[in-house]
Structure 1
């Protein structure tokens, strides 16, 4: 018999989360972390991203990834204004950077693309004319609905990336993209090995990541930065790619987006599968 989910006391949860957030904004991180632990006790699936916020204050280990419930809730809430916020306000243009690198390196055209974390279809729109077939997936159902309205993808799924890659029967693909996915994933092994399993030798994996100065990372492979997004060390990204059977064709520094008017540094990576 399936275990019945414990019903969340929404009133108590909202009060606990607001208390924790107020303490965090006031700079009382120790008390904020304890308050977020109360939030987690009320909501173990962590729709509000309490574990990520604790880690961003430097008071807890970074989780392997942002909780699925948190990512789904976050993007469902912002789906309607997503492109206005991300493109117009935060000056996010990674999909266009991906297209520029493909054109400059004279890659493609492609038979079948898998767009991980497709969102509203920004990357799909940038690559539509050089892909015969496109498959997109995202954890947020509302994001997928908006992508569907653009009529870019032959197939769309509401799914978690690593789970989809493990069970996928739509492949193989000759290109996989993951723009603005790594900021919600810390531990990269499962994702990168999953991508490798869905590509054949010579096929491409293009993705973006965010990073922080070495002095801040302080030897860590990844950490949750001050804006509750995962930052990865370049050395870790390269190491996991190699372990998964990829060679790095190109890894360049980029400005991923703005946050409070300041540029967020990251990398744009073009990797090619070299192992069968």
Structure 2
């Protein structure tokens, strides 16, 4: 996450003590130190968030409606001070029974998360979690056997793993991401013709209708609650015959769930209904795990959806 400083050295010191107490399993000490920090710097959002975590831990330990209400107030205060929600207060509120799951993962939280994660992203994800979402998306497009992919937009491009996996198949490749730190690493990888710092739907809205031949999103939907908006935005920019290739984390039910891992999982029925509702045809829907966690494959699906009509690329071959 972004650097946590209030601008007051004493408040920052109390905040650091509070964090240390919580890390050591002492929510009572954490709550006391966080409250002392807030007496000095009452508009310090990270301290409110930490107080919420301490109160939540006390509620889990002891029960009691007062602790639950105190946690809710602290998280709500953090969100009021920082509406971009770099700390993840919306996630915390949903976790303790308040707020809507579909909007829990905010762009501000994702940006802060990946700015902090960027320096170790490739090493941790690929080596530590056996991540292969980028390879699954590239293989799904390879299976179509159409040669050039034309103009491609890679949503949530991160450090550029999809760009590297696609190789020279795109005629023009645009990468879009919320995190400046991730984009800096994608630029160094050298696979992209253009990189854009933006939220996914907003970025797609800036593209001309029917101007793109392919859209990709590898392991991106785990941070997207409003799945239908992304599908609709992708459908708008795709030309006839254009493809949207993406992965989802799946679960045995039908709808959307926000897991304890703070990621969204999409039921098969939700995907199968949302794709045609966006004006796309489902052409590929296969089971595949994008990564491993705790020694187990995370369940997932690889999806390719196509815009109806004759492809510009295929009609020229």
TM-score w.r.t. the length of structure 1 is 0.87
Residues 91-240 of structure 1 correspond to what in structure 2 (within 5 A)? 91-169=130-208, 172-214=211-253, 221-240=255-274
Q: Quick one: distance in 1 between partners of 2:191 and 2:301?
A: 26
Q: Quick one: distance in 2 between partners of 1:17 and 1:54?
A: 11
Q: Quick one: distance in 1 between partners of 2:97 and 2:287?
A: 25
Superposition RMSD on alpha carbons, in Å? 2.6
Match for 1:259 among 289, 293, 302? 293
Q: Quick one: distance in 2 between partners of 1:52 and 1:40?
A: 11
Any conservation in 1 of the 2:151–2:171 contact (CA below 8 Å)? Answer: yes
List gaps (5 residues or longer) in structure 2. 1-6, 8-40, 311-317
Question: Shift of residue 125 of structure 1?
Answer: 0.3
Q: Alpha-carbon deviations, 1:104-161, whole Å to 9, x = none?
A: 3324321111101100000000002211211111011111111011111111110111
Confirm or deny that 1:249 pairs with 2:283: yes
Other-structure match for 1:4: none
Greater RCO (Cα-Cα under 8 Å, separation 6 or more): 1
Any conservation in 2 of the 1:56–1:225 contact (CA below 8 Å)? Answer: no
Any conservation in 2 of the 1:52–1:63 contact (CA below 8 Å)? Answer: no
Any conservation in 2 of the 1:205–1:270 contact (CA below 8 Å)? Answer: yes
Q: Which has the larger share of strand?
A: 1
Question: Shift of residue 55 of structure 1?
Answer: 2.2
Q: Quick one: distance in 1 between partners of 2:297 and 2:96?
A: 20
List gaps (5 residues or longer) in structure 1. 1-6
Q: Which has the larger share of helix?
A: 2
- Range that drifts further, 245-254 or 169-178: 169-178
Q: Quick one: distance in 2 between partners of 1:157 and 1:238?
A: 30
Any conservation in 2 of the 1:246–1:275 contact (CA below 8 Å)? Answer: no
Aligned residues: 265
Any conservation in 2 of the 1:196–1:244 contact (CA below 8 Å)? Answer: yes
Confirm or deny that 1:20 pairs with 2:52: yes
Any conservation in 2 of the 1:162–1:191 contact (CA below 8 Å)? Answer: yes
SS at match of 1:129: coil
Any conservation in 1 of the 2:107–2:178 contact (CA below 8 Å)? Answer: yes
Any conservation in 1 of the 2:212–2:238 contact (CA below 8 Å)? Answer: yes
TM-score w.r.t. the length of structure 2 is 0.76
